[in-house]
Structure 1
Amino acid sequence: MKLLNKSQINDFSHFIPKKRMKLHLSEHKTYEEIKEITKRLQIQSLRRPASLIISMIQPLLWLLMFGALFQNAPIYLFEQYTVQYREFLNPGIIIFTGFNSAINAGLPIIFDREFGFLNRILISPISNKNSLIYSCIIHTWLIATTQIIIIILITIYQNNTNINFNINQIIINIIISTIIISNVAAISICNALILPGHIEFIALTTLLINLPTLFASTALAPLSFMPTWLQIICCMNPLTYAIEIIRNHSLNQSIKMSTEIINATWLRINIYQSISILILINTISFIIVKKIIKYKYD
C-alpha cells in the first residue's frame, strides 16, 4: 500500500471537523442521578424497618450499659476537669455510631453486585458513575445523623440542660461526624468493589475492623490509661481525633484551634492539626474509591 502524499491528504481536509468536541457532564443530570439512586436506597431501607430500628437502638444500648457499668468511676481526662464516665463516654458513642453506620455503606453495592442490579445500573444511561459513591454516602449520612441527633437529645435530657444552649454543640458534633462518616463510607464502598461477596465483607467489617477500631481509640478510655503501644495505635486511628475534638468542645463549650487534644510524651496534636489529618485521610479515601470504580467499571 502506497503512502498518501500531502496533496491527497489536503483533498480530504474538508472531512476533518473544524472544532474539537468536548463532553461535559451536566451538573443537573448528575444531581438527578444522585437523587434517584439515593431514593432507591431509602426505599430499600424502609422495606427493612427492623435493621433501621436495631441500628438506632444499638448506640443507645452502648450508652446505657457502659454508662451504668462505670457510673461511679471518675475519669481525669484533663487536669482541670473531673467528669463522670457517662459524660466522658458520650462523644465516643456519637462518633462510634457514625462509624458503625458508615462501615456498612458498601452493603447495598455488594448485594447489587451479587443479584445483578449493579450491572443494570452501569449499563443504564448514567452520565457519572461517581453518583453511586455520592448516593451511598448521602444515604448513610442521613441514617447516621438521625441516630446522632437522637443520642444528643437523650444526653441533653439526661443532663437536664436547655436545648437552646446546645445548638452550637449539635452543629459541631454533626460536622465532625460527617467527616468520619464520609471517610469510613468511602472505605466501605472500596471494600464492596474489591471483595468477592457479602460474606467476606461482613467478616472483614464486623470481626476485623469494627470492634478493634473501637477499642483502639479513646472512645472508652483516655490515652493516660493505655500502655505505650496502644497509645501509638490510638494516635493512628482517625476516630481518636474526632472523639477528642467533640469531647474537648463539650467540656469547654468552645473550640480554639490551638488547643491540644493529644498530649502524650512523644506526640502533641492540637485541634487544627487534627482536622487537617481528618480532611487529608478523607480526600485520599475518595481518590482511591474513584480510581477503583473507574478501573473496574469504565
Structure 2
Amino acid sequence: MKKFENGNDRYDYSAITTRPVYDWPDGKRLAVYFALNIEGFEFGRNPGNDFTSMPSAPYHRGYAYRDYGNRVGVWRIHALFEQFGMPLAVLANGSVYDVCPEVLDAFRKRGDEIVGHGRTNSEKQADMSEESERSMLQDVCALIQRYEGKPPAGWLGPFISQSSRTPELLKAQGFKYMLDWWFDDQPMWFRTDNGPILAVPYPSMELNDLPAYVNRGASDEEFSRMAIDAFDEQLAESENYPQVYCLSLHTFLTGQPHRIRQLRRILEHISQQRDRIWLTTPQAIAEHVTALPPGVVPGG
C-alpha cells in the first residue's frame, strides 16, 4: 500500500469542487438519511458521561440514563418517523437482540436497515487484539444474519473506535461500507490491504446529538438550528455536486420528550423539500455509488 508523507495511506486528497458530478436516483443531488443508535451496556462497566459529574462504579446513573432510551425514548422516535414516513438506518449493538429484542422487531417491520454496531457499547475496537476484533465482527454478523436473514452491509464501531486493522477486517468479513471515517460529504473509496471499502459520510463530530449535547454543551434549540441550517446549505450546494446529509441520533438523548419536539421541527422542515431530496439509507447510498462507472468516485 502506498505511503504518504503525512502517514495516511488510506485515501488521496481530492477537492469536492473538481470531481466528476453524478446524480442520485431520479436526478436528485442531496441524499438524506437518519442514523438511530440503539445501544446496550453491561451493568457495572462505565457507559460514559451522565452530564452530572465524573462517573464512578457501579455507574448506575449512566446505565439507567441509557436504559431509558431503550425503554421509552426509542418509542417516541419510532412513532415520529412513522408519522413522517421516513426510513432509518438503525445502528444496533448485538446485545440489543438479547436485552430488548422487541425494539429491533419494530424497526424490522418498517423495513429499516440494520447497521452493525458492535456487541455492546461497553467495549471499543481500539482496545482489542486483532483476533478478538475478528471474532467480535464474526459474532455480530452471525447474530444479525440470524435475526434479519442477511448479514449487515455496513458498520460503525462502538464509540466510532477503530484499531489499525479494522478496515482490513471489515473488508475480509464482507462489509460493503463503513461509517467510522468522516472526511467528506460524498462517499469515498478507502484503501485496505484486502481491497477498497466505501466510506459513507456519517456526522461523527457535528450533526450527532451525543457530541453536540455532551461534549460541546449545545442547547436543544442550537442543535435543531444546526441540523436545519446544514440541510439548507447542503441542499443549495447540491445544485453543483452531489452530497450526503445525515443526522445521527441516540435514543436516550433525542428520545427525551423535550427533544422530540425539536426533532419534529427538523423533520417538518426537511419534509417540505421531499421532492428535491433522496430520503434513503447508507446501504442504498453505497449500492448506488458502487454501480457508478470506475473513476467517478475517487480512490477506487
TM-score by length of 2: 0.31
- Higher Rg: 1
Higher relative contact order (CA 8 A, sep 6+): 2
More helix by share: 1
